[in-house]
């Protein structure tokens, strides 16, 4: 195959664009896709401080690298989830990336700072590990961004991630989630703006970007994610994409353009019901936000939610700070 732009030998084919690219033209393509996503959705204004949620995987490291390359002031935040060797390795990739480039990487460790880890939380709550993990991430990325004065949180969610989430939301007609699924979630009381600058790139493209730019990332999949529903949706969409290139992009971008707005009222209804969590002050629909409830159940302690509610300033294990943010999965994606 020849590069579509310069006719040199190609190294990556991108079937949904009916194109292949050489290294240099592919890197140009990825930068342009990210620039276009940021511009189309007003994700980041000039001079704003960005906090990138970094996992040590291909998407978040590519996002950090691309945002820096486009001139944005972006620091990283790594969240130690306590998933054994997988967390040790992924944290090492995140630190090595930051150290090699002289970048600022903040680190929060669930066990050290909050007294629980993801496997323990999943067992204690009898929830899927990915649920406890996602809830913790949403809450803490927002909290750190607020506490440290960042204007926006950027995540490495890519086109495949968002198409799979959309499929899951449509299959269950989760209208509240559909009303919030968008490349930008605006800032609101208690929440920092959240953006997904890789939404125009498939995960094959973000992986290729890392390989071609020499970014080392953890290739191994999280052991707790194996067999989850989200990965199953991705397999189904890739089977469709293989037969009909461009299907994932048409599905997702068509929803953003013509479907998302139709569900906005469902999302608004839930936002209207928010009030402060009695433990941490984060916006929530209940008395205690989901993060505080999860932490309470997952922490090895004789304290329980009712104690927290009655004594909201009491410290538990680790250097706990007051949390201004909420991770209630029914409130924010």
Partner 1 sequence: MKVVLRNPRRELQLDGPTTVQALLGRLEINPESVLVICGDTLVTRDAELADADTVEIRPVISGGATR
Binding site for partner 1 (CB under 8 A): 1, 10-13, 15, 20, 57-59, 128-131, 133-134, 157, 160-161, 164-165, 168-169, 174, 177, 180-181, 203-204, 206-208, 211-212, 219-222, 224-225, 228-231, 234-235, 238-239, 241-242, 329, 333
Whichever of 168 and 286 has its CB closer to partner 1, that residue is 168
Length of the chain measured in residues: 333
- Output the smallest distance, CB 229 to partner 1, in A: 6
Whichever of 39 and 242 has its CB closer to partner 1, that residue is 242
- The total of other beta-carbon atoms located within 10 Å of residue 248's CB is 23
- Output the smallest distance, CB 43 to partner 1, in A: 18
- Output the smallest distance, CB 79 to partner 1, in A: 13
Token representation of residue 41? 């959705």
- Output the smallest distance, CB 322 to partner 1, in A: 25
Whichever of 1 and 123 has its CB closer to partner 1, that residue is 1
Whichever of 59 and 296 has its CB closer to partner 1, that residue is 59
Sequence-distant (6+) residues with CB within 8 A of 88 are none
Whichever of 223 and 254 has its CB closer to partner 1, that residue is 223
Token representation of residue 32? 């342009």
- Output the smallest distance, CB 302 to partner 1, in A: 31
- Output the smallest distance, CB 40 to partner 1, in A: 22
Whichever of 199 and 308 has its CB closer to partner 1, that residue is 199
């Amino acid at each position: 195959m020849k590069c579509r732009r310069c006719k040199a030998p190609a190294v990556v084919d991108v079937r949904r664009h009916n194109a292949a690219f050489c290294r240099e033209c592919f890197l140009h393509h990825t930068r342009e896709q990210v620039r276009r996503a940021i511009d189309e959705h007003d994700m980041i204004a000039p001079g704003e401080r960005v906090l990138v949620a970094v996992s040590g995987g291909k998407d978040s490291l590519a996002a950090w690298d691309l945002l820096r390359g486009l001139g944005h002031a972006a620091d990283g935040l790594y969240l130690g989830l306590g998933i054994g060797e997988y967390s040790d390795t992924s944290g090492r990739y995140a630190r090595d990336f930051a150290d090699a480039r002289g970048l600022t990487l903040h680190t929060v460790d669930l066990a050290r700072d909050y007294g629980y880890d993801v496997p323990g939380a999943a067992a204690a709550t009898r929830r899927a590990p990915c649920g406890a993990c996602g809830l913790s991430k949403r809450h803490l990325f927002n909290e750190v961004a607020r506490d440290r004065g960042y204007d926006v949180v950027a995540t490495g969610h890519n086109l495949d991630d968002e198409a799979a989430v959309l499929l899951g939301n449509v299959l269950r007609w989760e209208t509240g989630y559909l009303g919030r699924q968008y490349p930008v979630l605006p800032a609101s009381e208690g929440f920092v703006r959240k953006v997904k600058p890789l939404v125009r790139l498939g995960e094959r493209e973000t992986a290729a970007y890392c390989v071609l730019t020499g970014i080392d990332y953890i290739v191994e999949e999280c052991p707790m994610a194996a067999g989850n529903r989200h990965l199953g949706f991705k397999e189904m969409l890739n089977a469709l994409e293989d037969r009909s290139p461009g299907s994932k992009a048409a599905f997702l971008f068509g929803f953003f353009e013509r479907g998302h707005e139709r569900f906005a009222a469902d999302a608004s209804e839930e936002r209207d019901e928010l009030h402060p969590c009695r433990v941490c002050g984060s916006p929530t629909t209940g008395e205690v936000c989901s993060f505080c409830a999860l932490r309470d159940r997952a922490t090895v302690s004789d304290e329980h939610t009712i104690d927290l509610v009655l004594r909201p300033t009491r410290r538990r294990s680790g250097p706990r700070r007051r949390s201004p943010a909420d991770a209630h999965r029914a409130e924010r994606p």
